[in-house]
Structure 1
Amino acid sequence: MEAEDMDSPPPRRICGNCNRPSPVCLCDSLPAQPISTETQIIILHHPHEAQHKLSTTPILTKCLANSTAIISRRLKPGLSPLLDQSPPAVYLFPPTKSSPSVNVSQLRRPDRDAPLVLIAFDATWKHAREMVRASEGFLSKFATRVCLDVDENASGGSIYDSELILRKEPFGGCVSTMEAVARALRVLEPNGLEIETKLIRVLRDMVALQAGYLKPVKPRPKLLKKGKEKEKEKEEEQSDPIQT
């Protein structure tokens, strides 16, 4: 046992500020001071996602002063003192036939002076749908469902897909939680473009750091039918120079 303990690798050092392993520490990328927003941001963090090392929620809450993460499978009374007050709020999720969404850029706010609460769900798409369905009974009393202006037919709308295949999105137009909040704040905040730019810069740095520790993925060879395979072999024989 003593020999095994001596051979075991030392535990990874974790940064006490960004809570990430030292080799991928993001402290140099984080804002010197958390970004202030008029909007209050609440992220419902699925328990499984909270354990995922590539979740963007911990970094997002480090970047935004008025943000809170709640680890739970649904929103209900007693989880958030702020939401228990039934404030003007919106929650981000794509529309369905039974639950339409208002585009966030077309959102009409009767009282622009009242602080708005932005609610996002951080989970896999399957879990996020379950979380939204479980939370809507509570949210329907004071919150409006909103969506981002995206083209779902586009391929790879997320930094995860376009710059680093860390986590494959289910269809074009999907984005990470951090991207979704950044794009929503671009519309909701007076200096929204500046806030979005800062958040996306941090996310790009996180993605770039993780890329250095990924093993290259070999592309899967395409399987050819027997007929096509013979045709390919014949073409290769015809195109090869005669060896003498």
Structure 2
Amino acid sequence: MSRPQCSRCLRPAAHCLCALIPRLDSRTRVLLLQHPSEVNHALNTARLAALGLNNAQLVVGEVFDDLPTLLNPPGYQARLLFPADDAQPLHAYGPDDQPLLLVVPDGTWRKARKLLHLNPLLAALPRVSLAEGGVSRYRLRKAPGPGALSTVEAIAQALQVLEAPTSFEPLLKPFEALIDGQIAAMGDEVFQKNHGGGHWE
């Protein structure tokens, strides 16, 4: 028999995170393109980000037929948050800057690259990147390298830069509770053995 589930955060009802999810306004619009394999992942941080931001949209799929519409909301310029040699570092908005539509692929690195491959419009977007050296609070997965963050952390960090001095720290509250809950469920000994010092991709 399946456990009752919260229809909003998709967590088991006994571990619902909705009370911790903020409703933050942002000048930046965030478009999350989620690979279908992530939807039922226990740590669905893209959904937490989409729920916590009023100006955000989460779309699940591999090929997005309505991408031309999604990438062109009036008044925004689209940028892809994804590493590349020519990616421009994010910086705070100037007084006359047009706000960004920050497009964030959500999945493992391999799945995210597949989304770009299957959606040439996405791959053609100018890319932006976060500052080097961000430290993930995601203590449950090994990272492929330093500075690798979970989706919600990457979004919070990007908005923190773009919209300084506004704080987007509340976006990480449900994420941290989620991680703490997962660690508590596995027990400290198992966690230390498998994940001590590990980061995420």
Q: How would you bin the TM-score normalised by the shorter chain?
A: 0.7 to 0.9
Which of 29, 38, 52 lines up with 1:40 in the alignment?
29
Which of 40, 63, 78 lines up with 2:66 in the alignment?
78
CA 1:134 to 1:16, structure 2 compared with 1: closer, same or farther past 3 Å? closer
CA separation in 2, counterparts of 1:140 and 1:84?
Answer: 15
Which of 52, 61, 64 lines up with 2:50 in the alignment?
61
CA separation in 2, counterparts of 1:83 and 1:59?
Answer: 21
Q: TM-score, normalised by structure 2?
A: 0.82
CA separation in 1, counterparts of 2:68 and 2:54?
Answer: 17
CA separation in 1, counterparts of 2:7 and 2:128?
Answer: 36
- Partner AA of 1:184 in structure 2: A
Q: How does 1:55-204 map to 2 (within 5 A)?
A: 55-75=44-64, 78-79=66-67, 81-84=69-72, 87-96=76-85, 100-105=86-91, 111-112=96-97, 114-135=98-119, 137-139=120-122, 143-151=125-133, 157-160=135-138, 164-165=139-140, 167-192=141-166, 194-195=167-168, 197-204=169-176
- Partner AA of 1:15 in structure 2: C
CA 1:139 to 1:122, structure 2 compared with 1: closer, same or farther past 3 Å? closer
Aligned Cα RMSD in Å? Answer: 2.7
- Partner AA of 2:88 in structure 1: V
CA separation in 2, counterparts of 1:103 and 1:72?
Answer: 28
For residues 168-210 of structure 1, the C-alpha deviation after alignment (integer angstroms, 9 at most, x for no partner) is 2211110000000000001112543x12x11122321221122
CA 1:88 to 1:172, structure 2 compared with 1: closer, same or farther past 3 Å? same
Q: Say which SS state the counterpart of residue 52 (structure 1) adopts.
A: coil
**Between Structure 1 and Structure 2, how many residues are aligned?**
191
Q: Say which SS state the counterpart of residue 159 (structure 1) adopts.
A: coil
CA 1:74 to 1:173, structure 2 compared with 1: closer, same or farther past 3 Å? farther
Show the counterpart of 1:18. 9
Q: Bigger radius of gyration, 1 or 2?
A: 1
CA 1:23 to 1:85, structure 2 compared with 1: closer, same or farther past 3 Å? closer
CA 1:63 to 1:219, structure 2 compared with 1: closer, same or farther past 3 Å? closer
For residues 138-192 of structure 1, the C-alpha deviation after alignment (integer angstroms, 9 at most, x for no partner) is 1466x420111123xx8xx3111xxx32x22211110000000000001112543
For residues 55-91 of structure 1, the C-alpha deviation after alignment (integer angstroms, 9 at most, x for no partner) is 201111110111111112245x524634245841111
- Contact preservation (8 Å) 2:93, 2:163: no
- Partner AA of 1:124 in structure 2: T
Taking only the aligned residue pairs, the percentage that are identical comes to 31
CA 1:171 to 1:190, structure 2 compared with 1: closer, same or farther past 3 Å? closer
- Partner AA of 2:54 in structure 1: A
**Larger relative contact order (C-alpha < 8 A, sep ≥ 6)?**
2
- Partner AA of 1:148 in structure 2: L
Q: CA deviation at 1:111?
A: 4.9
- Contact preservation (8 Å) 1:78, 1:84: no
Q: TM-score, normalised by structure 1?
A: 0.68
Show the counterpart of 2:40. 51
